[in-house]
A and B are shown apart, each in its own frame.
Chain A
Amino acid sequence: MSAEIYEEEYSIDGKEFVAIGVASTKIKAALKMLGIPSDLIRRASVIAYEAEMNVVIHGGGGIMKLEIHPDFIEIIARDEGPGIPDISKAMEEGFSTATDKIREMGFGAGMGLPNIKRNSDNMEIKSEVGKGTEVHAVIGIKRE
């Protein structure tokens, strides 16, 4: 039997700072209806939220995609922003390029990418300066 794959794509508006978290809420609702265990849902919502923040803050908008395969969940965030010059530096906890204005709003603590990594079983970043960034985060679904 060929298992069905579920896909959902959300476009993220770079100017809509107030609507942040919408994609992560939708992702959570979809995972709940599919009967994904609640601890995995929580990890997926954290990933989606942090990825969404990055797309808005650094990427100036982009897309987020949710893919549910029979044995794993994949969240993909893509933007056409400035790109990350030094990925290993960006992965350090506390490293942030956020402006003061964004920090004033309580964001930009430099925990976004590390948080995504901590909550996923596998994470990949592809980034090219001047072209954009693509983050893939995978969470495995264990079967009894």
Chain B
Amino acid sequence: MLQNSFYIRINAHRCRGCTKCIRRCPTEAMRGTYGQAGIDIIERLCIGCGECIRECPYKAIELVQDDWETIRAQGNLALLADPTFHVQVGHCNRTGFIISALKRIGFEDMTESISLAFDVSAYAIAKRLASGSKAAPLISSYCPAIVRYIRKHHPELINNIVDVDSPYETAAEYYRMSNPDASMALIAQCPAVSNLINSPVGRDKSNFSHVINIRQVVKGLLASGERIDDLPPEIESGARWLAWAASGGECRHISAFSEKKINTMVVTGMENISTLLHEVELGRLSCIDFIECRACYKGCVGGVSASESRYLSLSRIDSLKIDWNISTEERAKLERLYDEGKWRLSKCIEPLPEQAPLSNDISVAVSRLKELKNLHASLPGFDCGSCGRPSCHAMAEDIVRKHGEITDCIFKLREKITLLSSEMNELCMRKTSPL
């Protein structure tokens, strides 16, 4: 256990130990002590979705990232932002003028490579779907929290993840072709995306050397007093890749490249995802070709590091006049890039270690599981979080794994005190009986 993961840090000065984050975590990856600052993150279970950050009333959970001022001072960096970034600033609904602002203060612009990379990703997925895959349905590889969730909790579905690299990395590859020495920074909408630079999926090394979250950049720009409303938009509002910020955008993009009708499904929010993956495992969704999964409701616009309300961002995306018609020249160019294969993952996605079994010896595991069931039955079942665990079941499991005592439960503690005090009382009242 640790208080710093690669991407999340608990600020012990702000944390009050209210355990709200612990109960919110969809993978039960947090533990703490009620009323005491400091929460432990079980990195083995964490997928980086950022729900804990959203839940914390004291803003005590922070992202581990580079600092805007340092990045700004460094200059000479190429910035790549998720499409979500471009629909963050409100008073001016011209998409992409924020890129102009970044260019004016000295950053390189990667828009052209980004636009190509998203097209190629969608094109490659459409090709995969057309050729028929052995694992159906295919699952999007775009949301790194989902990929991590599958690698940890549904390793048998790894083959369903489409083997197309993140369009961020593909964009970086394209950019590097004309700028071999470029240093690149990623503007991320959530901890899972931030983590891509430390542990990229299906490749050895990320192209990005820095990461910063959307909110910091937007705040940094606005606070710098930079005039940004007079700038021309740098991105055409017809850009297809902008649609990926909202749920359904990826599917829409893939459909634009598909010759036959494909059955797609869009599922967002971790609770829904976990039910969905269970259904996929049971083989109930083999009639679906492709599932776009996003850990955040409504897609990346709902990312925890976004500065704007997801609904405002969505309405901005809706107002874009995205051009879904692909010209013959565009198609020919994409076919060339497809054959070049930079979109391909360079290695297999490996399963990640999940929670270990109760014991490696099955008969020991069996007796521990029985003990766990009995313990669980004896607990109140309120899932109140006062023991610093997400649920009574997690508490029973922790005890069986020797990470806790039954009296960590506040109700059990009360019972124990009542018992002790009546014993004490009895002892005090006991009369001596001399011979």
Contact = CB atoms under 8 A, between A and B. Distances in A.
Contact of B362 (A8, A34, A41, A42): A34
Contacts of A5: 366
A33 B369 contact: yes
A97 interface: no
Nearest to B282: A49
Contacts of A24: 282
Contacts of A46: 281-283
Contacts of B358: 33-35
Contacts of A25: 278
A4 B366 contact: yes
A2 B20 CA distance: 44
A141 B365 CA distance: 15
A62 to B, nearest CB: 20
Contacts of A45: 278, 281-282
Contact of A42 (B156, B359, B369): B156
Nearest to B356: A35
A35 B363 CA distance: 11
B209 interface: no
Interface string B358-381: 111011011101101100000000
B357 A35 contact: yes
Contacts of B200: none
A32 B357 contact: yes
B365 A34 contact: yes
B210 to A, nearest CB: 37
B363 A4 contact: yes
A32 B28 CA distance: 15
A91 interface: no
B249 interface: no
A35 B366 CA distance: 10
B366 A68 contact: yes
A17 interface: no
A33 B281 contact: no
A3 B364 CA distance: 9
Contact of B281 (A1, A6, A42): A42
Contacts of A38: 155-156
A34 B366 contact: yes
Nearest to A29: B393
A70 B365 contact: no
Interface string A1-41: 10111101000000000000100110010101111001101
A39 to B, nearest CB: 6
A14 to B, nearest CB: 21
Given A33-B357, A35-B358, A21 B278 contact: yes
Contact of A70 (B283, B357, B362, B397): B362
Interface in B391-414: 397
Given A35-B362, A38-B155, A45-B281, A4 B357 contact: no
Nearest to B372: A33
Contacts of A42: 156, 281
A98 B397 CA distance: 41
Contacts of B360: 35
Nearest to A30: B369
A25 B282 CA distance: 11
Interface in B184-213: none
Given A21-B278, A42-B281, A45-B281, A35 B365 contact: yes
A35 B359 contact: yes
Interface of A: 1, 3-6, 8, 21, 24-25, 28, 30, 32-35, 38-39, 41-42, 45-46, 49, 68, 70, 115, 141
The 6 nearest A-B residue pairs measured at CB: A35-B357, A6-B366, A4-B366, A34-B365, A3-B363, A4-B363
12 contacts: A3-B362, A4-B366, A4-B370, A6-B366, A8-B373, A34-B369, A35-B359, A35-B360, A46-B281, A49-B282, A70-B363, A115-B283
